[in-house]
Structure 1
Amino acid sequence: MTVNRFDLYGTRRLDVEEARTLVSDVIDVELRLHDSSYQGEYYGGRDSGGRKIRVKVHGKDDEGYLDEEDFPDYKTLIYISGAASEDFPVLAGMDDIFLLRTDFH
């Protein structure tokens, strides 16, 4: 059975464009703008290991709830998901980016 890992990073200082550029450079992935009725606008792509990366403004949904209620002080969120492995990208500690949560399923 494959175990998947889901990392949530956040930054209080970087806007979505600055975070996208930093993540693209560090992970070497092209992040393109997407617009989803469920997710809203976000930058997304997959790295060479097939992991899914999304960078988005930490906003509110149609009902007024924050995307991540436990982390209201973060203005930009970065999601990385994929098969758990030892070479999973690590962004924590880079230019005001913090690891907020890791889940395994």
Structure 2
Amino acid sequence: MKHVLYGMRGADVAQAALVIAQALKCEFQERESDYLGIYQTARIAEAQIKVISQTDPEGDPVEEEFEEYETLIYIDGESAFPELESLTAPQGLLEKLRDHV
């Protein structure tokens, strides 16, 4: 299973999810958790995508080494999404931050 982390500057969770939904032709659902706050999630085949705010509900960074990104996108699954590699939005560029197998 692959675990990929992307980051986006200049876009909030809803904006980033909309751009990704258009690129991957999928639909996101809004969820809420005590740990993540409000986030967006989608499932494509065997892949789970979560779009979250870099800051948790208490104001702490979720990924300290990537604090300069306002929005984080986690993809867990067997699918690779090459469509995301060069995805740009008016708010910013989606950048791959980490890729683990």
Secondary structure of the structure 1 residue equivalent to 2:72: strand
Deviation at 1:15, TM superposition (A): 2.0
Over 6 Å off, 4+ runs: none
Bigger Rg, structure 1 or 2:
1
Give the TM-score normalised by the residue count of structure 2.
0.85
Matches within 5 A, 1:67-78: 67-78=62-73
Give the number of the structure whose residues are more often helix, by fraction.
Answer: 2
Distance 2:75 2:69 in 1: 16
TM-score (norm 1): 0.82
- Match runs of 1:1-105 below 5 Å: 4-47=1-44, 49-60=45-56, 62=58, 65-83=60-78, 85=79, 88-90=80-82, 91-95=84-88, 96-104=93-101
Q: Give 2:10's aligned amino acid.
A: R
**Greater Cα shift, 35-44 or 93-102:** 35-44
Specify every segment of 5 or more residues in structure 2 that has no aligned partner in the other structure, as ranges. none
CA deviations 1:39-91 (Å, max 9, x no partner) are 221000201x22000111111354x53101110100011111112x5xx1131
Which stretches in structure 1 are left out of the alignment for 5+ residues? none
State percent identity of aligned pairs: 31
Determine which structure has the larger strand proportion and give its number.
2
